[in-house]
Amino acid sequence: MTENSNIPSPPRRQFLALGGSLVAASLLPDSGQAAPLPRRFPQNFLWGAATAGHQVEGNNVSSDSWLLENIRPTLFEEPSGDACNHYQLFSQDIAMLADLGLNTFRFSVEWARVEPEDGLFSIAELDHYRAVLDACQRHGVHSMVTFNHFTVPRWFAGRGGWEHPDAPLVFGRYCEKVARALGDRMTMATTLNEPNLTQLLFGIPGLNGSRLGTPLDHEIIRKAGQMTGTGQFSSWIFGDFEHIHKGLIEAHKKGFEAIKSILPKLPTGVSIAMTDDQAVSPAAIPMRDRKRKLAYEPWFSVANSHADFLGVQAYSRSRIGPAGMLPPEPGMPLTDMGYEFYPEALEAVIRYTHDHIKRPIYVTENGVATTDDSRRVEYIRRAVGGVARCLQEGIDVRGYIHWSLLDNFEWLDGYRPHFGLVSVNRTTFERHIKPSATYLGTLAKANAI
Ligand code: BGC
C-alpha cells in the first residue's frame, strides 16, 4: 500500500459505474422526505485526517515559532508547549485513525528538528519520522507528507527566512535529505503548506490586515531578530509579503526538483490556501480577480509545471466588495475563528481550481473550529456532498483529508479553537473520539455519502 505507486487512477469512470445512477436521488437537499441514496466514491479515493508537526508534536524548541511564542510581549495567545505530545504518541494516533476507518494520514516533517542548525542534519530525528512512516505502513494507512508546514528552523528565520536569496536552495537541500532518508516509505509528498497565505490574507485591502502591522508587532519581530543573534527575523507571515511569496514559489520548485530527482515516482505536489471568493456586485469583480491573480494564479501555473497534483485547502467564503474584503453578512452563522460557517466553499474552490489546472486535485485540508461537534458533522456532510457533486461531473478529485485529526495548537489563537475530530486532554494527553470522527470514518468505510 505504501509503495511509491503512481497517483490513484482518475475517478470518473469508477464513480459513474458505481454510483452514477444513484446520484440524482442523493443530490436532493435534505428535506426530511425520502432518505437519500448513497453516492459512491471512486475506488482508491483517499479519506484522511491531517496534522502539522508544530501543532501537535510539542516542544519544537528549535523553531521560529517557539521563539516567537515565548518572547514577551508575544503575538501568540499562549505557547505551544507540549502540544498533543504526538511526538511520543504518534503510534497510537495512527492506530486510532486507522481504526476509525480512514486510510490516509497527512502530517509534516519538522524542519527545525531535522536541521536544527544550518547544515547539521539529525539522524535521530530522521529516524523518528521513519518510525512514523513505519507506523502508517503497519496500520495500512497512506502517508501524505508535508515537507514544510509554516514553521522553519530559528536559524533560517534569522538569516532572513524565505526572503533570503539562497532560501530556495537551502530548502531544496533539506528536501533532498528527507527524500533520500524517508521517501521510499511515503505514499505522497507536498513541499509547502499554504505558501500563498500572505497573498490570500493580505493581498487585497480588508479585514485581515488589521491583525498584524502595529508598532508593537514590529517591536516583537525586531526583538526576535535580536534573539536569533543576527538582528534579522523573517518567516511565515512575519516579513515582507511580496518577498516571502516570491521566495516560496522558488523554494517549492527547488524542493519539488530535489524530491523528484531522488524519487521520480513519488507523487509530489503543493497545498494552497483558498477561499470561495464571491464578488458582492459586478463592480466588485475586478477586486475579486485581483485577489485571484495574486493568491492563486501563480500557483496554478506552478502546479502545471512543477507538481503531480495540487492540494486545495478551503474553510469558508470571502465576500469581496469593490474596495476589498468585507465581513460576513450580518446574521450568518460563524465558526469559532470568526469567519462564516460555509461548507459549500469547498465545492466552489474545487470547481474553480479545476478550470485552471491540468492536474489531479486533492482536498488536503477542510474543517471547522467549533466546540459543538454536531456542527462539525453537519460541516463534513455538506462539504463531502460537494466533493461528490464534483466527482459526478468528472472533476478529478482524489482525496478528502480533514483538518484536523486532533484539537491542536491553532497558531496565534493558541488552543482555544477546536478543529479536531478527536479532543486531547492537555495534561494527561488522553484522546477522546468525537462523533464527527466516527461519522467521517463511516463515510470512509462505505466509500460513499
Ligand atoms: C493551516 C493549519 C491551520 C488551519 C486552521 C490552515 O490554514 O494549514 O495549520 O491550523 O488552517 O486554521
Neighbours of 24 (CB within 10 A): 11
What distance in angstroms lies between residue 315's CA and the mean position of ligand 1's atoms? 9
Q: Which residue is closest in CA terms to ligand 1's atom 9?
A: 52
What is the grid cell recorded at 278? 464571491
Of the candidates 148, 165, 246, 235, the residue with the CA atom closest to the CA atom of residue 199: 246
Query: Which residues, 6+ apart, have CB-to-CB distance to 401 below 8 Å?
Result: 46, 47, 48, 49, 50, 104, 106, 144, 362, 363, 364, 365, 366
List the chain pLDDT tens, one digit each, 449 residues. Answer: 333 345 544 333 343 333 333 333 333 334 445 666 679 999 999 999 999 999 999 999 999 999 999 999 999 999 999 999 999 999 999 999 999 999 999 999 999 999 999 999 999 999 999 999 999 999 999 999 999 999 999 999 999 999 999 999 999 999 999 999 999 999 999 999 999 999 999 999 986 554 577 888 999 999 999 999 999 999 999 999 999 999 999 999 999 999 999 999 999 999 999 999 999 999 999 999 999 999 999 999 999 999 999 999 999 999 999 999 999 999 999 999 999 999 999 999 999 999 999 999 999 999 999 999 999 999 999 999 999 999 999 999 999 999 999 999 999 999 999 999 999 999 999 999 999 999 999 999 999 99
Contact 296, 349 (CB under 8 A): no
CA-proximal residue: ligand 1, atom 12 (nearest): 410
Cell numbers at 383, concatenated: 462539504
**Of the residues 110, 125, 194, 410, which is catalytic?**
194
One-letter amino acid identity for 383?
A
- The pLDDT, as a whole number, for residue 246 is 98
Number of residues in the chain: 449
**Could you give the dihedral angle defined by the CA atoms of residues 247, 249, 251 and 252, in that order, rounded to the nearest 10 degrees?**
160
pLDDT value at position 215? 87
How far, in Å, from the CA of 363 to the mean position of ligand 1?
A: 13
Ligand 1, pocket residues at CB < 6 Å = 52, 55, 193-194, 273, 313, 365, 403, 410, 419
Beta bridge partners of 365: 313
CA distance 185 to 133: 6
Domains, the chain, in order of start with CATH, read 15-26+41-446 (3.20.20.80)
For residue 5, the model assigns a pLDDT of 42
3-state helix, strand, coil split of the chain in percent (to 5) is 45, 20, 35
Phi, psi of 207 (to 5 degrees): -70, -45
Strands 422-424 and 431-433: antiparallel
C-alpha 20 – ligand 1 centre gap (Å)? 34
Our mutation pick for probing the ligand 1 site, out of 57, 237, 337, 365, counting the most ligand atoms within 8 A of Cβ, is 365
Q: What is the pLDDT of residue 208?
A: 57
The contacts of residue 320 (CB under 8 Å, 6+ apart) are: 204, 277, 278, 279, 280, 284, 287, 288, 291, 326
Nearest CA residue ID for atom 10, ligand 1: 410
**Nearest-atom index, ligand 1, CA of 408:** 10
Residue 193 near residue 149 (C-beta atoms within 8 A): yes
Single out the residue of 160, 312, 313, 171 nearest to residue 252, CA to CA: 171
pTM of the model: 0.93
The C-alpha atoms of residue 252 and residue 147 are separated, in whole angstroms, by 10
Question: In this structure, what are the phi and psi dihedrals at residue 126, rounded to the nearest 5 degrees?
Answer: -65, -40
The answer to whether the peptide bond before residue 195 is cis (omega within 30 degrees of 0) is no
Interatomic CA distance for residues 61 and 413, integer angstroms: 19
Q: Which residues contact 299 (CB under 8 A, 6 or more apart)?
A: 195, 196, 249, 270, 272, 310
Q: How far is CA 264 from CA 184, 297, 383, in A?
A: 11, 26, 33
Burial class (CB in 10 A: 0-12, 13-18, 19+), 382: middle
How far away, in angstroms, is 97 Cα from ligand 1 center? 19
Residue 277's SS3 state is strand
DSSP letter string over 87-137? HHHHHHHHHHHHHHT--EEEEE--HHHH-SBTTB--HHHHHHHHHHHHHHH
Is 329 annotated as catalytic?
no
Radius of gyration from C-alpha coordinates of the chain: 21
Q: Which atom of ligand 1 is nearest to the CA of 271?
A: 8
CA of 283 to the centre of ligand 1 (A): 31
Relative to the CA of 194, which ligand 1 atom is closest?
8
Helix (H, G, I), strand (E, B) or coil at 199: helix
Among 376, 405, 410, the mutation site with the greatest number of ligand 1 atoms within 8 A of its Cβ is: 410
Which pLDDT score, from 0 to 100, does residue 38 have? 78
Residue 143: φ, ψ to 5°: -110, 135
Helix or strand holding residue 247 (H, E): helix 241-262
Q: How far is the CA of 26 from the centre of ligand 1 (A)?
A: 31
CB 448 within 8 A of CB 41: yes
- First and final C-alpha spacing in the chain: 24
